[in-house]
Structure formats: C-alpha cells, structure tokens
Amino acid sequence: MTKIAYFDCSAGAAGDMILASLIDAGAPIADIEAGLATIFAIRGEWGLATERVWKSTGRIAATKVNVSSVHKHAPTAPPGTPPRDHHHDHDHDHHHDHDHHHDHSHGHGHHHDHDDDEDHDHAHDHERNLASICAMLDASGLSPWVREKSKDVFACLARAEARAHGTSVDHVHFHEVGAIDSIIDTVGSVLALELLHVDEVHCSPLPYSNGFVKCMHGLMPVPVPATLDLMQGVPVIPAPKGATGELVTPTGMSLMKALATSFGPPPAFIPHTHGSGAGTKDFPGHANIVRVVIGDATHPVSRPTPSPSNDESVVVLETNLDDMNPQILSHVQELLFEQGALDVWWQPIQMKKNRPGILLSVLCQPDGVNALSNTLFCETTTLGIRRRTMERAVLKRSFLTVTSLYGPASVKVGYLNGAPVNVQPEFDDCQKLALAANVPIKTVLAEVQALARACLKKEAPMA
C-alpha cells in the first residue's frame, strides 16, 4: 500500500520547519544524525537538537529544530559586484542580523526559524555551489534515493537562484544552501521521509504573503525572487490574517517543489500519524507551524493500474479570421496536414463590428508548434495565434486489411484493455470500391466492418 505524507503549509514553509514536523511525526532523530554523519565533507561541522515549544495563544505543541554550526555563513554579492566589504541588515521578519563579506552571486534562501542576534562573518572557503554539494552527497553513505532526491532539491533551488540573478547555475554560490544548517535541513528532511517509509509527498497551497525584507539592494518585496520563481505553477493562497513578511523561504519552497506529487487538497488516504514543526516567529492569529500527516492511500496514488489508453500532451493552435478569402482555408488545411497536424477544423464565429469570421483550430504535437505556427502566419491573414497545451487519452490502435466482395480495404481498430472497441473501415478505400462496383457506400462499409469484426474474434486480445 502506498504511504503518503501530506504537508499542511498554509501558515508557511521553511526547511527547518519541514524537518521538525517529520521528527515530530516519528522520524528517529538518532537515525537522522547517523545518516547525516555519513556526509564526510561536513563531518564535525554541525550539531542537531530539538526542543518542545508551544505556538500562538492557543499553545499548540510542536517540535523545533536547532542546527548548530562551527562556521558562520554569509551571502555573496550578485554577479558584477566588485569585491569589497558590505555591511547590511537582513531583518527578514525572522530577526536576521548578518555581517556579510561577499563577491559571488548568491541565493536569497532565508531561514524561517532562526533568531540570530549575533554577527555572522564568513570567508569564501566554506561557500558551496551546486556541483560541490552534489559531489558531497555522492561521496556520502546515504541511500541512492536520499542522495538523488536531495540533489533534486538543491538543483531546483539553484535554477531559481540563477534565474533571479540572471546568471548560470554554475555561478550561483548559496549562502543558505552552502551553509551547514541548510544542508542539514534539506538532506535531513529527505532522510526523514525515507525513515518514515513515505512513498509520496503531497502539499497544501502555499501562503502568498506581503511585506518586505531588507537586503544589500535595499527593501525587497516578498516572496523574494527565488521563492516567487519556485511558486510558478503552484497554487497559492492569501497569508493568514495578521501575518506579514517572509512566510515561505526558498529552501522550504524548493523542498516542496522538488518532492511533492501534487499541490492542493490531500488525496484520499487514512491518516496514521502526524507531526508539527515550529518556526521562531509568533503571530497573534495563528500558530507558525508546518503540519505533516502520514498515512496510507485508500487507493494507489502515483502507481495506479496502468491506463488502458495512452496519455499524451497535445497543443491546440487557434486564430480568429475575418478578413481572409475563405477559398484559402482548404489550401491551408492541406499544408497543415502535410506538416504533421493531427487535425484541422474551423467554425463560423461572430466578431467585433458584427463581422462574420472563422475560428481556425489546429491540433498538433508539441514539437510541431513552431512549424505549424509559421505556416499560419505565412498563409493566412492572422496577426496572432493562441496556444493551449492539453492532455488527451488515445486508444491503442492497429490496422488490418480485409478482402470484401468488392475488393480489399483497410480497417482501423482501437483497443481498450486489449479488447477491440472501435472498428472503423477506411472511408477512402470503401468509397473507391463502391464507385467501382456501382453500389451504395454504406453497403461496402457494412460488409468491410463485419469482416473485420469476424477476423478480430479469431485473434487473441491485444496486450
């Protein structure tokens, strides 16, 4: 049976809060420490501790994770910043006051949990980029699953930071991901999922907060650029009433983005255990926690019974035409089919100024979009084309040839669960036979279809 973990991140998400929730749900901290100790490159540089805390006026009990590090860490400047010392205050609504010395691009992964009132001074020899982190994980004693999933999380964040800073992944140096505490938060969370035997991760919508954080460029609105990049394609909800500032950190967002199968309501499952992970901030109206609920799916979630049909992505191209000679449409249709269009159709529409027009639609594979769009631009009067990506289910199919009283004809057969459900004679073949024999085409179609069905009954079901 599939075991799932559903993360309720409606109050926010950060790496330490996610790790704390999994420990609170039963992941053994001793086993987590033992696994993390096999990351030899950082052995002896960190410590992991937990404490019981109570959040909000309702005193909701939760676990809080505290990671200690022998290194002090600091961010580095974006590309193009000349090497020099900067002093800036990272008061991110999380009480961060850091002294930073930097000359590299860096991520804005801000912890949701730390209450650091000391100055953090850090030289560059402890900064890490994606390649060094991946190499560190590959050399560890962690399981292949933990290594690969952890690398997925770091890569997800690296790509977001690179886009935020307009640079390449290789040139991104993370002050958070490279910091010991963030490596522990990220890898520890993935390891905790393995220890809890979780097969799938699902996540609630994330809160979209407002407010600002202070960084070297001045005030920056939240979500910060990397977090906002990671939120693309993910459902978000308004932040809880009274909560401002950074509620979702880049590390927390990248963990969910890389690991979650879905975002939204939980799938059908039977809860067996749950845990709450606390952040540092307190809000007047809600508990600053991440909750995880672990249980068994009541039906397979990501490993369902193989679909009887083939699912594929297709693209629909559409354009409205009100100033084109309609005689051109058939010519355009032929060209589009020659270039690989799956289907082409049009329908009359009423356009602005009461003009009659045509809605021209083209169904195609994703790799044919550019060529078919170029044909529409060149052959029609359109100035713009709409594109929609859609999913479609397609029956498995095959062709057979039968010999009727009037001659041979091809037949297209569609299979569902190995059994033929659609048997359609090729119309062009039957039309030629009907004209040659001077008989109604429906007579030829009926005979060809009957012969095909009789032939299929003799065959074994299609696998």
CATH number at 348 reads 3.30.70.1380
* 284 and 383, same domain (yes or no): no
Residue 35 and residue 110 share a domain: yes
- Per-residue pLDDT at 76: 42
Count of the separate structural domains present in the chain: 3
Task: Answer yes or no: is 368 within a domain.
Answer: yes
Decide the pairing of beta strands 3-8 and 200-203: parallel
pLDDT for res 174: 61
Same domain, yes or no: 384 and 242: no
**Which residue from 285, 304, 213, 286 is spatially nearest to 8, judged by alpha carbons?**
286
Looking at the domain assignment, is residue 463 inside a domain?
no
Q: Please indicate, yes or no, whether the overall pTM of this predicted structure exceeds 0.75.
A: no
Q: For 308-324, what is each residue's pLDDT tens digit?
A: 557 788 999 999 999 99
Provide the residue type at 177 as one letter. V
Do 231 and 359 share a structural domain?
no
Whether residue 259 is contained in a domain is answered as yes
Domain check: are 79 and 65 in the same one? yes
Angle at 312 between CA 230 and CA 393, to 5 degrees: 125
Please say which residue of 265, 297, 329 terminates a domain.
297
Residues 239 and 152 in one domain: yes
Tell me: do 216 and 314 sit in the same domain.
Answer: no
User: Which regions in the chain score pLDDT beneath 50?
Assistant: 73-125, 176-178, 300-305, 463
Helical H runs in 196-313? 225-230, 250-259
Where residue 425 sits, what CATH number does that domain have? 3.10.20.300
Domain boundary (244, 266, 297) is at 297
pLDDT tens digits, 433-457: 999 999 999 999 999 999 999 988 8
Is 159 in the same domain as 92? yes
Based on the domain organization, do 390 and 403 belong to the same domain? no
Phi-psi region of 59 (alpha: psi -120 to 50; beta: other; left: phi over 0): left
Let me know whether 71 and 107 are in one domain.
Answer: yes
Tokens of residue 438, six digits? 């001077």
Same domain, 210 and 253: yes
Tell me, yes or no, whether 304 lies in a domain. no
- How far apart, in whole angstroms, are the C-alpha atoms of residue 360 and residue 385? 10
Q: Which domain holds residue 440?
A: 396-457
